[in-house]
Amino acid sequence: MSDANFIESIINEDIKNNKNEGRVHTRFPPEPNGYLHIGHAKSICLNFELAEKYNGLCNLRFDDTNPDAEDEEYERAIIEDVKWLGFDWDDRLFYSSDYFDRLYDLAVVLIKKGKAYVCGLTPEETKSYRGSLTEPGTDSPFRSTSVEDNLALFEQMKSGDFEEGKYVLRAKIDMASSNMNMRDPIIYRIKKAHHPRAKDKWCIYPMYDFTHGQSDSFEAITHSVCTLEFEDHRPLYDWLVQELELEHRPQQIEFARLNLEYTVMSKRKLIQLVTEKHVHGWDDPRLSTLKGMRRRGFSPKAIRNFSRSLGVTKKNSMISLGTLEAHVREDLDETAGRIMTVLDPIKVTITNFEEDSVIVTPKIHPKDEERGRREFSFTKNILIDREDFMEDPPAKFFRLGPDRKVRLKYGYVIHCDEVIKDASGKVVELKCTYDKDTFGGKRPEGQKKVKGIVHWVPAESAEKVEVRMYNPLFTEPNPLAMEKDFLEYINPQSMTVIKEAFIEPSLSAAKVGQSFQFERLGYFTIDSDSTEGNWVFNQTVTLKDAWAKLK
């Protein structure tokens, strides 16, 4: 395995040394306090794919120790999203809250060992006793309480005898440690809150640090992969696993989180965008949430490929949107059926077209005959995109202009004879003539090749659809690093709605979530706001890399 990333190198070494009997067991541990975003997808892919690669297992564990922010709506959405990405945890769905009894017992073990004490300093006092990065802390006067008294006090905490904030349970480690997390960290606090799963059983709740490593150990996790901000917590993770003499001793490994340009990923910021209605809900196609990306038309495969392509590092960086979009484009090029759509129509009348109609039957996918063909009519009246016509075109404009020729894709070469405008000077119709002998790409002997090819739809039978066009949600690559509040950098052009676009009449069996390539325009996906006959499309990604141009 020469191309192993650094986590795989650790695992390879562990397997060589028969650590954990060669097992690999990972977990994805979301806190159910928001919807999953593309950063979580990175962690999901990493954990589940490591397990797959080493024939191991990966658990899904809800890290639900904070009853204030957590909600079952989020839980359901998270389960749906991980499944949608294509991962399976079999029967290994766990909840940290299911370990509350065991965690309580472990806290008692720690007290009995003289390694934990109940502390009654006020929050302000706790802070000042803690010292700083340059100053050691000072021992709490409660540090010398006897084991018996600590056991009694902790029991009273559990029984609800004290108000919130009156006491906490702290690990007794080292107030002079250079690592602030080791300065007698709080491991239990009083919180008189209803828990969605544990209901009203508890009025004390374990802190994250007292929950995570133990939960990993209970589940016999071997490699506990997390993001870099937990690096300074690792000594505490190891200390607890050691002092509690747990059977399984998982290894915490940190990697750099995924950051993506022109978006935000923190759950708190996402909640703000949704609740303050800067976007239209959790699944707004402009968001970095998996629900949003799914609605936009990004497939699980594209997200997994993207995640894998980034590798795993210990260095924080910003990934360009272009990188993500390239994977989406690559996937859609293969999967999306082709269709012609006119976003901003100009009517074209083919004055010498005498027939009723001529049937055209282009392939659904140019590289895959097996997917069959579409069928619709070429008629006297068609629509082309306004962008494909210019009254006074520059030399390099290979589309239509007065007295110019263009080829209509799958149809004929037409010549523009006359431009008709309304009172305001806006072009409303082009009168053209067609060359009967040019159907479907044919070029009669001796005739010059027509350079421009444009798309079109038959005017009468085209279906009217709504198309939502997207730009990045923010105008700045890193809106959270700017001077002003991130909301100030919301892109006013992040969404534009085209109410009347016209699509080739071959959509009949389409369904929500299906993606198409609008020929020459990009990839688009049917939105959940659609109803039969009233299709709404989301622009998923442009046909070419729009970012490359900007650089």
Active-site choice (8, 31, 243, 463): 31
Q: Assess 294 for contact with ligand ATP (CB under 6 A).
A: no
- Which residue type, as a one-letter code, is found at position 297? G
Report the residue number, 29 or 522, with the smaller CB distance to ligand ATP.
29
Q: Which of 156, 177, 179, 227 binds ligand ATP (CB under 6 A)?
A: 227
Report the residue number, 82 or 240, with the smaller CB distance to ligand ATP.
82
Number of other residues whose CB lies within 10 A of the CB of residue 92: 14
Report the residue number, 477 or 505, with the smaller CB distance to ligand ATP.
477
Beta-strand pair 456-458/453-454: unpaired
Q: Which two tokens mark 473?
A: 């949600």
Q: Which two tokens mark 359?
A: 């049937």
Q: How far is the CB of 270 from ligand ATP (least distance, A)?
A: 8
What CA–CA distance (Å, rounded) separates 161 from 147?
Answer: 19
Given the rule CB under 6 A, which of 36-44, 210-218, 443-451, 489-497 is the region that contacts ligand ATP?
A: 36-44
Place of tokens 């509350």: 100
Query: What separation in angstroms does the CA of 68 have from each of 87, 160, 198, 281?
Result: 29, 18, 13, 21
What residues does 368 pair with on adjacent strands? Answer: none
Tell me which residue of 288, 282, 293, 284 sits closest to 77, measured CA to CA: 282
Q: How far is the CB of 19 from ligand ATP (least distance, A)?
A: 22
236-265: which residues touch ligand ATP (CB under 6 A)?
Answer: 257-258, 265
Tell me which residue of 44, 26, 55, 82 sits closest to 216, measured CA to CA: 26
Report the residue number, 42 or 172, with the smaller CB distance to ligand ATP.
42
Spell out the residues 6+ positions from residue 370 whose beta carbon is closer than 8 angstroms to its own: none
Element (H, E) at 358: strand 358-360
Q: Assess 39 for contact with ligand ATP (CB under 6 A).
A: yes
Q: Assess 226 for contact with ligand ATP (CB under 6 A).
A: yes
Q: Which of 267, 296, 365, 404 binds ligand ATP (CB under 6 A)?
A: 267
Task: Judge whether 257 counts as a catalytic residue.
Answer: yes
Q: How far is the CB of 322 from ligand ATP (least distance, A)?
A: 18
Binding residue count for ligand ATP, defined by CB under 6 A: 14
Q: Which of 25, 26, 35, 43 binds ligand ATP (CB under 6 A)?
A: 43
* Residue 539 exposed, middle or buried by CB count within 10 Å (0-12, 13-18, 19+): buried
Q: Assess 308 for contact with ligand ATP (CB under 6 A).
A: no
CB 296 within 8 A of CB 285: yes
Q: Within 13 Å of residue 540, how many CA atoms lie on the same side as its CB?
A: 32
Q: How far is the CB of 253 from ligand ATP (least distance, A)?
A: 11
Task: Judge whether 183 counts as a catalytic residue.
Answer: no
Given the rule CB under 6 A, which of 38-46, 118-126, 172-180, 478-486 is the region that contacts ligand ATP?
A: 38-46
Q: Assess 42 for contact with ligand ATP (CB under 6 A).
A: yes
- H helical segments located in 276-430: 290-296, 300-310, 321-335
Q: Which of 156, 266, 305, 478 binds ligand ATP (CB under 6 A)?
A: 266
Report the residue number, 487 or 512, with the smaller CB distance to ligand ATP.
487
Task: Judge whether 191 counts as a catalytic residue.
Answer: no
Report the residue number, 258 or 469, with the smaller CB distance to ligand ATP.
258
Q: Assess 415 for contact with ligand ATP (CB under 6 A).
A: no
Given the rule CB under 6 A, which of 39-47, 106-114, 401-409, 470-478 is the region that contacts ligand ATP?
A: 39-47
Given the rule CB under 6 A, which of 40-48, 181-189, 299-307, 396-404 is the region that contacts ligand ATP?
A: 40-48
Q: How far is the CB of 258 from ligand ATP (least distance, A)?
A: 4
Q: Assess 71 for contact with ligand ATP (CB under 6 A).
A: no
What CA–CA distance (Å, rounded) separates 51 from 221?
Answer: 11
Q: Assess 300 for contact with ligand ATP (CB under 6 A).
A: no
Q: Within 13 Å of residue 407, how many CA atoms lie on the same side as its CB?
A: 16
CA angle at residue 536 from 533 to 538, to 5 degrees? 155
Q: Which residue is nearest to ligand ATP (CB)?
A: 39
Q: How far is the CB of 435 from ligand ATP (least distance, A)?
A: 57
* Burial track 13-28 (b if 16+ CB lie within 10 A, e otherwise): ebbeeebbeebbbbbb
CA angle at residue 475 from 473 to 481, to 5 degrees? 100
Q: Assess 40 for contact with ligand ATP (CB under 6 A).
A: yes
- Which residue type, as a one-letter code, is found at position 105? D
What residues does 501 pair with on adjacent strands? Answer: 465
Q: Assess 274 for contact with ligand ATP (CB under 6 A).
A: no
Report the residue number, 40 or 130, with the smaller CB distance to ligand ATP.
40
Query: What separation in angstroms does the CA of 45 have from each of 50, 120, 310?
Result: 8, 43, 11
Give residues in contact with ligand ATP (CB under 6 A).
29-31, 39-40, 42-43, 226-227, 257-258, 265-267
**Active-site residue set:** 31, 257, 267
